[in-house]
Structure 1
C-alpha cells in the first residue's frame, strides 16, 4: 500500500488509517459525510452560486492570493480539483437544506424561541448567606450600586464586569438562574437565592426577544439538518470492529 499520510518520521498507509479512525472516534463523522454525499449527489447548482461560494470560502480562510491558496492546499493534502469539489459540496448542502426545511423554519423557530431569547443580567455570588443578605439590602436601599458591590464582593469572574453578564441566551446560565430570569421583568432585583454552592443576587437588566432574521433562519436550517443527519446516522450506520486474529501458541 502506498503512503497516504506522513507525520514527522512516521508514515501511514490506507490499511493503517482505518483502525486509527476507529480508535480516535472519527468513523461516525466519516459515515455522516458519506451519507451527506449520497443525499446531495443530484443537487444542481449554477456557476454563479459556485463562484459566490468560492469567494466566501477564500474570505473565510483569508486566501486572497494564488500563493496562499496553494499553500493552504498543500497543508490539507489537496489539489485544485479537491478544492472545487469541496466548494461545490458546500453549495449543494446549502441548497439541500433549503429544499427540505425552508418551509419548516418558522414553526421550528417558534418551538425553539423560548430558549433563543436573550437576557442581560447582573449577578453577585458569595458563599455566606449573611453577606448576601446585607448586600441585597444595600442595593435595594440604593446605598451602593450593584456594580460597585459586585466588583468588591462577587467571587466569580463577573466581578471584573461589575456583575454584568450578557447578552446570553436565556438557557445559557445555570438552570435555576435561567428559571429565575424567566419570571423577571427588566429591573427586578431577586433576593438572595442558593444556587449550588453559592448564594446569588440577581437583577434582570434587559430582555431581548429572538427574531427570525437571516442569521437566525440559517441557524434554524443548520439545526434541522443536523437533527436529520444524527437520526439518519442512528438508523442507517453500523460499525463492525475488525476481528482480532489470535496467534497460535506453539509448544
Structure 2
C-alpha cells in the first residue's frame, strides 16, 4: 500500500492521504511525529546505557491497555485496525515496548528529585477556592467590591451583576484552582491572603474583576502532584537531551 492510499485525516467528509500530509510537512519544515520519534530514540539510548529493559509481561499489559483504549477487544478487530494503516503486530509490540521504556526511564530520571523540586516550587501547587464577579465598567466593579466588603452577600451580587455566564449562576464560584489557572492579577491578590479576602477592581483583558477567596489549600506532595512533577522533570530532561543531541532532519533538506 502506497502512502497515497493511507488516509491520514478525514475532515468534513473529505479524506487526506498520508502522502499529502507529509508533502505539506516537508514544505513547512515541521512534523511533530519526527520530534516524537527523536524523543523515543533518546529514551531508548538512555535505557540501553543504564540497562533499563521492558519485561515481556509489561509489554503485553501495555498492548492490552492500548486495545482497551481503542476499544479493540477481538483479535480480528486489532488485525483489521493495523492492516488499514499498513502496520503489523510487530509495530504494535514496538509501540507498547516504547511506552513501558518511557515510563521506566522517567522513573529513573526523576528518582530522588521530586521532593526537592516540590520544596523549591511548593507555591506553584497551592490551590484556592475562589469566587468572582466580572463586569465591563470599573466604576461598577468598585461599587460591588465596596458592597461585598461591607457585608453584602457575594453570591447575590455575582448572580445579579456578573457578566461571566459560566460562573454567574453559581454565585460567581469558580471552584478549586491553582495559581496558574487564574489571571496573574487575580492570583497575586488571592494566594497568600486569608479566606474571606475580597479584592478589586482588577483589570484583566478590558474587564474588571471583583474576587473573593473562599478557602486556601496549601499543597501537599500527594500522588497527583508527584506524578505532575515527574512529568515536568522528565520533560526538562528531554528538552536538554534534544539540545545536546547531534541531529538533523534530511527530510527538510530535500530539493
TM-score when scaled to structure 1? 0.81
Contact 2:130–2:177, Cα closer than 8 Å, also in 1: no
Matched residue of 1:228: which SS?
helix
The separation in 2 between residues aligned to 1:172 and 1:193, in whole angstroms, is: 16
Tell me which of 154, 159, 177 is aligned to 2:162.
154
What pairs with 1:26-65 in structure 2 (closer than 5 Å)?
26=31, 27-41=34-48, 42-65=51-74
Matched residue of 1:50: which SS?
helix
List alignment gaps of at least 5 residues for structure 1: 245-251
**Corresponding residue of 1:20:** 25
Tell me which of 114, 133, 139 is aligned to 1:130.
139
The separation in 1 between residues aligned to 2:117 and 2:99, in whole angstroms, is: 23
Q: CA deviation at 1:51?
A: 3.4
2:190 aligned with 1:181: yes
Q: Which has the larger radius of gyration?
A: 1
Tell me which of 185, 190, 215 is aligned to 1:206.
215
What pairs with 1:1-251 in structure 2 (closer than 5 Å)?
3-6=2-5, 7=7, 8=15, 12=19, 17=22, 20-21=25-26, 23=28, 25-26=30-31, 27-41=34-48, 42-143=51-152, 145-157=153-165, 158-236=167-245, 237-239=247-249, 241-242=252-253, 244=255
Deviations 1:132-166 (A, max 9, x none): 232223323344x3223222211224324321113
Q: CA RMSD in A?
A: 2.9
| Cα distance change of structure 1 residues 243 and 97 upon mapping to structure 2, 3 Å threshold | closer
In the alignment of these two chains, the number of paired residues is: 240
The separation in 2 between residues aligned to 1:182 and 1:3, in whole angstroms, is: 57
Q: CA deviation at 1:167?
A: 1.7
TM-score when scaled to structure 2? 0.80
Contact 1:3–1:11, Cα closer than 8 Å, also in 2: no
The separation in 2 between residues aligned to 1:147 and 1:12, in whole angstroms, is: 56
| Cα distance change of structure 1 residues 161 and 71 upon mapping to structure 2, 3 Å threshold | farther
Contact 2:131–2:173, Cα closer than 8 Å, also in 1: yes
Contact 2:3–2:17, Cα closer than 8 Å, also in 1: no
